[in-house]
Amino acid sequence: MSHTAAKSAGPKIAIVTGATSGFGDAIARRLVAEGWRIVATGRRRDRLDALVEALGGPDVVHPLCFDIRDEEATSTALATLPDAFANISVLVNNAGLALGTGAAQDCDLEHWRTMIDTNVTGLVTITRLLLDRLIAQRGLIVNLASIASNWPYPGGNVYGGTKAFVKQFSLGLRSDLSAQGVRVTSIEPGLSESEFTLVRTGGDNAAYDALYGGADPLQPEDIAETVRWVVSLPSHVNINSVEIMPVSQSWAPFKIHRDTLS
């Protein structure tokens, strides 16, 4: 005898933040291929328009152009959702960035604030604004954390801190929302080839080539496939966290800096 709860049917509607490049773009494409309607967000209007065009038009993809750091803009954008896209059951919190690779003592405070405003404040804001809808749909929240949530590295400082927040927030949400049947997953990718590194380095193509060259890094499609899998599981199954690296990436010994006091 099965104790599995009955499933609800209805249109599959997901919102993917940061759908204008990298993971978000690939996730939107993958979910549309699986029959989802997508609300695609980002600041670059031309890229959102191109995505709508590429994925079958405005009946399939609804673009919302706003800066996720701006609570009013986020709230206003969500309030404009047409009925056909209103019943969101999956939130993919993907928009985010790193700025800089330097040691903390050399970092620009404005870069730190931008990462916190985007990766932490923006993410929790849109999550809170969508929670009632997600609860009504017994939905799923997929948060893009990082291996930087789990492992410190030189130059990771505030970026790693924001991603550790995303992971822990995911687990906390899961605790609060399990009684409502809402699932929450933290996805924690490692080295992945995307514009992320150009954003982080201020457009340094040589740094991009040095980081990814010969490493056979993860591709956005690998993360999209992971999201597809998480989303497709039966509603009684919750994947708490998934850490993913390319085969080429693994761990190194702890470093020991000697003669610290001399």
Q: What is the DSSP string of the chain?
A: ---PPPPPPS--EEEESSTTSHHHHHHHHHHHHTT-EEEEEES-HHHHHHHHHHTT-TTTEEEEE--TT-HHHHHHHHHT--GGGT---EEEE--------S-GGG--HHHHHHHIIIIIIIHHHHHHHHHHHHHHTT-EEEEE--GGGT---TT-HHHHHHHHHHHHHHHHHHHHHGGGT-EEEEEEE-SB-STHHHHHTTS-HHHHHHHHTTT--B-HHHHHHHHHHHHHS-TT----EEEE--TT----PPP----TT-
- Regarding 192 and contact with ligand NDP (CB under 6 A), the answer is yes
**Could you tell me the smallest distance in angstroms from the CB atom of residue 133 to ligand 8X3?**
28
Q: Pick from 24, 122, 190, 217: which binds ligand 8X3 (CB under 6 A)?
A: 190
State the Cα–Cα distance between residues 22 and 123, nearest whole angstrom: 17
Residue range at the interface with ligand NDP (CB under 6 A); choices 1-9, 29-37, 40-48, 172-180: 40-48
Site string for ligand 8X3, 133-162 (x = CB under 6 A): -------------xxx-------x------
Indicate the residue among 75 and 150 with the shorter CB distance to ligand 8X3: 150
- Regarding 28 and contact with ligand NDP (CB under 6 A), the answer is no
Count of residues binding ligand NDP (CB under 6 A)?
28
Which of the residues 153, 159, 208, 212 is marked catalytic?
159
Q: Which residue number places its CB atom closest to ligand 8X3?
A: 146
Q: Pick from 32, 51, 61, 68: which binds ligand NDP (CB under 6 A)?
A: 68
Residue 119's Cα: distance from chain center in Å? Answer: 9
Whether the CB-CB separation of 227 and 187 falls below 8 Å is answered with yes
Which residues, 10 to 69, sit near ligand 8X3 by CB under 6 A?
A: none
Whether the CB-CB separation of 75 and 63 falls below 8 Å is answered with no
State the Cα–Cα distance between residues 256 and 262, nearest whole angstrom: 15
- Regarding 166 and contact with ligand 8X3 (CB under 6 A), the answer is no
Residue 246 interacts, among ligand NDP, ligand 8X3, none and using kind-specific CB cut-offs from 5 to 8 Å, with none
**Could you tell me the smallest distance in angstroms from the CB atom of residue 202 to ligand 8X3?**
15
What tokens does 194 get? 């995307």
**Could you tell me the smallest distance in angstroms from the CB atom of residue 156 to ligand 8X3?**
6
Indicate the residue among 21 and 89 with the shorter CB distance to ligand NDP: 21
Which residues, 147 to 186, sit near ligand NDP by CB under 6 A?
A: none
Catalytic residue list contains 153: no
- Contacting residues toward ligand 8X3, per CB under 6 A: 146-148, 156, 190
Report the interface residues with ligand NDP, using CB under 6 A: 18-24, 42-44, 47, 67-69, 94-97, 118, 144, 146, 189, 191-192, 194-196, 199
Catalytic residues, by residue number, are: 159
